[in-house]
Amino acid sequence: MRRSHHISGVGALLLLAAPILGAAIWSEDSLDFVRQTEKRPPAAWPAFSAPGDLIDADTWRQADRAIGDRIPWRAALVRTKVGIETRVLGDRLLGVPGEEKVGLGRDGWLFYLDSLGAMTGDSEQVARALAAAESAAASEDWRARLILVPAPDKASLYPEQLSRPLKRMLEPHAGNRGAIRDWFRQPGLPDRVDTWAYFKRAQASSEKPLYEPTGSHHSSFGSMVLAHAMLDAIDPSLWEPNLITHRATVRYQSGLSTLAGFFDRIESWERFEIVRPGIETEAFIHDGNLIPNADRAPNGPGANDLPARYINRSAGPPLVDGRTLIVHDSFIAGYLRPTLSRFFSDVTFIHYRLITPGDLQDALRDYDLVVLEFVERSARQTLQGFFSKREPAGKDAIRRRVSLPVERRAAPNGQPPP
């Protein structure tokens, strides 16, 4: 047990009494700031199970974190810290003190630090992950066609916006990131999509940003590029660029601005969708609930991660037949569910964190088509996690969460959906 060298009897008593003595000054506003802005639960007060805990350095560190989360004016302190860092010191790593997650690039661009290589893994880890996906596709008795779709990182598309410190963080991982991109450019099983090529072509043909400069995700227009790449892999005749429709202009502060500690960066963002005349949603099932006259999840935290199933019919435009499952991360959850749904006769979306490797194996034996989408930085972890070893069967967990008796007009085969 590590012991603190700065402890006294008085300090121990104050520590024990801190939650009570400080109750009058601890700020609920600061706790709300931690929950809503920093996106994490406030640090708990340390627990004591033995007298020795009072002289344990870890206890005092935990107490320091708990006090820091409750001290009045936390938001103002973080804002002041960011102002000093960026305007006075010229720092490039921003965020909650000691937990910086954001890098300041050129022209005010922000980058999620973990996307600069920390998650990529070393060369052996990358090679094992890619080999695991290939081995699983060659040896498993899958019914479904599997397509892997990586969402390119911001640093891959806009390296010119990286500041020098951020470029230095990225450089040690360039080789392994390149190995992943090269693998996706090669033919083989499972089917894989070179999404970087689609984004590079879009950059050359449009001035619209494909990433939110201060956000962690593709812009809404950039998400259309991801949809194009995915649909081309399924059936190149499906994509119709003239159907990209501007739906709204919304104003909000992007996630990286908030994570960095900026609180006055409300910006305007365009929203685009694909609208396909002649496509009718006959049933929309969200996490087991049939929602009439709707094609998107109700508002609420995590609603776009929960399983959602669309059953469509067409009066003309082609639809992908059979049953499709799209396992995705937040790059699809936020923008693309309604747009992509309009290309399939029966499609289910679910966030990858809500399923196990066993669930995915079940789906690959049950569905006709499975698309697995993930952001570039998590490619190694995603492939390793889903394909490195055989997992117990998931007992049709996905199907059960989106199966619901649905009354619909006569299907082409005259049969109701499962």
Q: 104-117: per-residue pLDDT in tens?
A: 899 989 999 888 87
Q: Which residue has the tokens 């949603």?
A: 281
Rounded mean pLDDT of 210-214? Answer: 94
Which residues have CB under 8 Å from 183's CB, separation 6+?
130, 192
Separation of alpha carbons 270 and 249, rounded Å: 5
Dihedral angle over CA of 135, 140, 144, 146, nearest 10: -10
pLDDT value at position 401? 66
CB 249 within 8 A of CB 270: yes
Q: Which residue has the tokens 């939650």?
A: 19
Highest-confidence segment of 9-23, 88-102, 402-416: 88-102
pLDDT value at position 264? 73
Hey, what are 179's tokens? 């190995």
**What pLDDT band is residue 92 in, cutting at 50, 70 and 90?**
low
Q: Over the stretch 16-28, which tens digit does the pLDDT of each residue have?
A: 444 444 454 566 7
Using alpha carbons, list the distances in angstroms from residue 330 to 333, 334, 350, 373, 411.
Answer: 5, 6, 10, 10, 32
Rounded mean pLDDT of 253-274? Answer: 85
Q: Please calculate the CA angle 82-164-106 and round it to the nearest 5 degrees.
A: 60
pLDDT value at position 4? 44
Q: Is pLDDT at 128 greater than 80 in this prediction?
A: yes
pLDDT value at position 298? 82
Higher-confidence position of 205 and 34:
205
pLDDT value at position 60? 65
pLDDT value at position 222? 96
Separation of alpha carbons 276 and 202, rounded Å: 22
Q: Over the stretch 281-335, which tens digit does the pLDDT of each residue have?
A: 999 999 888 898 888 888 777 788 899 999 999 999 999 999 999 999 999 987 8
Dihedral angle over CA of 151, 157, 162, 164, nearest 10: 100
Using alpha carbons, list the distances in angstroms from residue 51 to 1, 160, 176, 247.
Answer: 13, 56, 49, 62
pTM equals 0.77
Hey, what are 102's tokens? 């954001």
Among the listed residues 65, 74, 64, the one whose alpha carbon sits nearest the alpha carbon of residue 37: 74
Higher-confidence position of 304 and 350:
350
Characterise 245 by phi-psi region: left (phi > 0), alpha (psi -120 to 50), beta (else).
Answer: beta
What does the longest C-alpha to C-alpha distance in the chain come to? 80
Rounded mean pLDDT of 233-241? Answer: 94
Rounded mean pLDDT of 245-274? Answer: 87
